[in-house]
Structure 1
Amino acid sequence: MTAGTKRKIVVSTIAEAEFYADGGFDDIIFASPMVKERISKRVISLATRLEAFHVMVDSVVGMQGVIDTPLDGDKKWNVFMEVDCGYGRTGCVWDSDDALMICRKAAAAEHVRFQGLYNHCGNTYVPDKDQKSQIQLTTVDRLVELKKRLEADGIPVPRFGCGSTPSCSRPINNMGVLTEFHPGNYIFYDYMQVLVGSCSMDDIAMKIVTTVISHKPEVGTLVVDCGWNCISQDGCERPKDTLPLGYTPIVDHPELRMRAMTQEIGKIEGNGEAIDYSKFPLGTRLYLYPHHSCATAGLQPKYYVHSGDKILDIWIPNRGW
């Protein structure tokens, strides 16, 4: 993804930051609001040994906690302010007085280097293209307005970016003013991204292998050994009529749909027609596309990297916090 540069990657846990740092990455953003109580020895170690380990704040309290915990020697904290442009998850509200106060504190602090503005526009996970474009337009316009407000106050904003996989997969023209994008899910894509128009089924780079373990013609289902403990139910709370291929599409079998799941069981029904059980004898292997690959990937102990039927490598995912 980084063309061998080992720079500019965003992580959501300290364990991930340590993993990439140990692998040679030297420009890492820890994209979770920092407060003083989270500034552990591990965080300080990353900030000290890396050329650029960036923390993120979204409150005056969080910013003050960073200021009150200076690093040793001439090392400075690199700080981004997370901005809420309307999504309402984390981030300081873009037009609030606190946004200006946080950046003033960062710019004035002796042991802090203010890096700029960070935004996650997770509200772009919508299927309507016009609605998505309007969210993207509003998000960027609000970031630009805040940037101008800060610069008018004498605070340079060297970097400012936003991102979600839907917004970065289908960018609009005004996103060209940004200095960076912050997508994540795009590395695998998934059925959810298909539904919101980010990609096609052919772009999904993750599949789950499952086995047919029971026939239930009396209720019209196949049973497989793969339930929500394997693929999760994240995103599956949508009305069923918005999921034309069920919770988890079955690769190369549009005539089937995942109707329901329990912990280790999946119930597959015919998609508008009765199942021909002779095509799926017990022991048949089926391949499923994840609804949300982030959640599915987080539940697996290993990933098999393959080209066709040939296994090329096995990846062990990073765990913990």
Structure 2
Amino acid sequence: MSVGVRTLAKSCVGKRLSDVPTPAFLVDKQIVLNNCQNMLKKCAELGIKLRPHVKTHKTEEAALLQTGGQKKCITVSTFREAEFFADCGWDDILLAFPLAPFHIGRAKSLADHISTFHLLVDNVDSATALAKSPIPAGKASWSVFIKVDTGYARDLQQASLYSCSLDDVACRVMTRVIGHYQHRKQMLIDCGFTGLTKQGLNANKFVAGYALFENHPNLKLIEMSQEVGKVEGVDGNLDFDRYPIGTELFLYPYHACATASQHPVYYIHKDGLVEEEWKPIRGW
């Protein structure tokens, strides 16, 4: 391979997780499937129409699990997501992002293209501009949701609220130890803020530092540069012999949406093997 020549990343399907380059965004598909089936079952029992949000993963593969295989009735957070799913044959799409008047042209193109497209408004100016705009082709009117602030939280935050357990969290960021700095009682990992984000510092009872280390509650991620993380012991002590260079560690991200957005591919695994690779849509 020539230096400076752009090459396509090789697939890791069929490889062990130990062969995956780090930092890597890992997804346990069985946990995702269990979560989706539980939600579908609960909504069916309650007689509620489920409209799952796809903004965390931005993939058709995960969206199909959320909807039980039906290509309809989803929520997106960007126009690019809406356009991607519409181009893939999805219908009944809600763009859950506050509409501004300069969005209306792009919104009409989408509404002209699929049977049911919904917008969200949170102010009178946007609602007035929309009311003055041409109605999409074949529609009686614009379909509009009104945004209401109900308060929300994410991921490890959900676990701290007991709305789920850590066993229900399907994603991890895999990283490796790349350095020992015994004089300052720190080790380095190859995951900086571009692989995790800086959200979540000491945010709840689960997190000491920026993220929770799976099976290593004695560790805390205290600081990150772009590509490197600094790790210390929770009690100030660190057993370097336990973590030789190259040791694989797994992080629960504080905010899965933000962390997933840092990665161009998700490694879908089972029993230590990569079974699939999901590639999210990007852009706005």
After TM superposition, the score normalised by the length of structure 1 is 0.63
Residue deviations 1:246-270 (CA, integer Å, cap 9, x gap): 3211111112121222222111111
Rg: which structure is higher?
Answer: 1
Instruction: Tell me the distance in 2 between the aligned counterparts of 1:73 and 1:16.
Output: 21
* Farther-moved stretch of structure 1 (24-33 vs 59-68): 59-68
Q: Which residue does the alignment assign to 1:78?
A: 142
Change over 3 Å in CA distance of 1:34–1:229 after alignment to 2? same
Higher normalized contact order (CA 8 Å, seq sep 6+, divided by chain length): 2
Aligned-partner SS, 2:221: strand
Q: Which residue does the alignment assign to 1:246?
A: 209
Residue deviations 1:133-169 (CA, integer Å, cap 9, x gap): xxxxxxxxxxxxxxxxxxxxxxxxxxxxxxxxxxxxx
Identity of aligned residues (%): 37
Ranges in structure 2 where 5+ consecutive residues have no aligned partner: 1-65
Aligned with 1:235 (options 190, 200, 205)? 200
Instruction: Tell me the distance in 2 between the aligned counterparts of 1:54 and 1:214.
Output: 50
Q: Which amino acid is the alignment partner of residue 107 of structure 2?
A: V
Runs of 4+, deviation exceeding 6 Å: none
Ranges in structure 1 where 5+ consecutive residues have no aligned partner: 88-120, 126-184
Q: Which amino acid is the alignment partner of residue 21 of structure 1?
A: A
Deviation, 1:243, is 5.2
Instruction: Tell me the distance in 1 between the aligned counterparts of 2:159 and 2:216.
Output: 17
Aligned with 2:170 (options 189, 205, 211)? 205
Q: Which residue does the alignment assign to 1:192?
A: 157
Residue 66 in 1 paired to residue 130 in 2? yes
Instruction: Tell me the distance in 2 between the aligned counterparts of 1:316 and 1:207.
Output: 16
- Is the CA contact (8 Å cut-off) linking 1:223 and 1:268 kept in structure 2? yes
Residue 269 in 1 paired to residue 269 in 2? no
Change over 3 Å in CA distance of 1:255–1:26 after alignment to 2? same
Instruction: Tell me the distance in 2 between the aligned counterparts of 1:49 and 1:71.
Output: 13
Q: Which residue does the alignment assign to 2:80?
A: 15
Residue 298 in 1 paired to residue 261 in 2? yes
Aligned with 1:36 (options 101, 107, 118)? 101
Deviation, 1:237, is 6.7
Residue deviations 1:162-188 (CA, integer Å, cap 9, x gap): xxxxxxxxxxxxxxxxxxxxxxx6xxx
Aligned-partner SS, 1:65: helix
Aligned with 1:289 (options 248, 252, 257)? 252
Residue 4 in 1 paired to residue 69 in 2? yes
Aligned-partner SS, 1:43: helix
The root-mean-square deviation of aligned C-alpha atoms, in Å, is 2.0
Q: Which amino acid is the alignment partner of residue 196 of structure 1?
A: L
Q: Which residue does the alignment assign to 1:314?
A: 277
Change over 3 Å in CA distance of 1:6–1:70 after alignment to 2? same
Equivalenced residues, count: 219
Instruction: Tell me the distance in 2 between the aligned counterparts of 1:8 and 1:250.
Output: 35
Aligned-partner SS, 2:281: coil
